[in-house]
Chains A and B, each alone.
Chain A
Amino acid sequence: KQEVTQIPAALSVPEGENLVLNCSFTDSAIYNLQWFRQDPGKGLTSLLLIQSSQREQTSGRLNASLDKSSGRSTLYIAASQPGDSATYLCAFEKSSGDKLTFGTGTRLAVRP
């Protein structure tokens, strides 16, 4: 059974800091890996999707990488802002149209 772990579970940083969130998975047979943001009591907002043939994706201050051989994905946030405070979730699917298996999440707080 695929396990998805996110480290750290919680992170508090001062505004302006660059940071890295980690996602580890036990099965390298993945089709897509997706990073989401979840604000308290809200839905999931898709941030980046990396297909298995890709190594990284970038959107604004966010950069996500994927290393299937080591079973890891990282989300890099540059120049963090208080508005980035949220829970960040990684999730993967094993084939096209398959369900998503979610990680445990990293709760990020960016202090002004």
Chain B
Amino acid sequence: EPEVTQTPSHQVTQMGQEVILRCVPISNHLYFYWYRQILGQKVEFLVSFYNNEISEKSEIFDDQFSVERPDGSNFTLKIRSTKLEDSAMYFCASSSRSTGNTIYFGEGSWLTVV
């Protein structure tokens, strides 16, 4: 069964450093998303991406965050200057109308900012 893959599975970074989280969505999907989950809290929406542009972003997704689809397969989330409060599990997801809009999630990337 096709799946969303994410790398790295875990990253530890120093405060102020740039981090890039990578995702390979399911190949025929058109909608791409990033979510995050701070330990013990709800899953929160960050950004959605469709037709090579951001379609919606949340209040969390400020100027420190950016997304890119550099080629036909990868979808990346960049955090320009990490803060302690960016420590969370970051999930990539994708969907296609042909699957009834079921949204498929990756296994997540654990980011720890120290």
Contact = CB atoms under 8 A, between A and B. Distances in A.
Interface of A: 31-32, 34, 36, 41-46, 49, 51, 89, 91, 93, 96-105
24 contacts: A32-B100, A32-B101, A34-B103, A36-B105, A42-B108, A43-B105, A43-B106, A44-B93, A44-B105, A45-B105, A49-B101, A49-B102, A89-B43, A93-B103, A97-B50, A97-B55, A97-B97, A99-B45, A100-B43, A100-B103, A101-B45, A102-B42, A102-B44, A103-B42
Contacts of B33: 99-100
A88 B89 CA distance: 17
Contacts of B45: 99-101
Interface string B73-114: 000000000000000010101010100111111111010000
Interface in B42-66: 42-45, 48, 50, 55-56, 58
A31 B43 contact: no
Given A46-B105, A51-B100, A97-B48, 5 more contacts: A43-B105, A43-B107, A49-B100, A97-B55, A99-B58
A44 B93 CA distance: 9
Contacts of B48: 97-99
Given A99-B45, A99-B48, A102-B43, A46 B107 contact: no
Contacts of B35: 100
Contact of B91 (A31, A44, A97, A105): A44
B33 to A, nearest CB: 7
A44 B45 CA distance: 14
